[in-house]
Amino acid sequence: MKSIAAMGVATKETPFFIIDLRNLRSISIDTKKKTAWIQAGATIGELYYRIAEKSKKLAFPAGVCPTVGVGGHFSGGGYGMLARKFGTTADNIIDAKLIDANGQIKDRESMGEDHFWAIRGADKVDDNLLLRLFLKSNVQSPFKPGQSR
């Protein structure tokens, strides 16, 4: 039986490369419009922290592990504790920027609705580099500031 470590995508016959996204982690939150641009290398914990810095009333439905990157979590649908009330993370993504296999930067309009739908839950980022996501963060927190759970 093979170990899981032996089941990677790399083979001697197939060239591959790895892109390190850890420096693509900018988070820009607009509390008046209740939206945010998040780069794909940011973590869920960083997103939650930035939202809490800007507003005590806004929240966002994503996972509970703060070290998970938003690019992978969000493109996989993004189920979390607030999903039953406010929808999954993917339900709250309203735009995205990616680089396609030809090096073209695409947004929701230029990639088309089918592709946009696919990157929001079908984990369809295999032939693209997801750069950043535009989210609506208009979810009102179910807790009042200072309220214990």
- Domain boundaries, given as residue ranges, for the chain: 27-140
Class of domain 27-140: alpha beta
Q: Rounded distance, CA 5 to CA 130, Å?
A: 25
What does the pLDDT profile of the chain (149 residues) look like in tens digits? Answer: 454 545 555 566 777 667 777 788 999 998 888 889 999 889 999 999 999 999 888 888 899 999 999 888 888 888 888 888 888 888 888 898 888 888 889 999 999 988 888 888 775 555 667 777 787 765 555 555 555 54
pTM: 0.76
Bridge partners, 136 (sequence order): 35
What DSSP character marks residue 12?
S
Three-state DSSP class for 56? coil
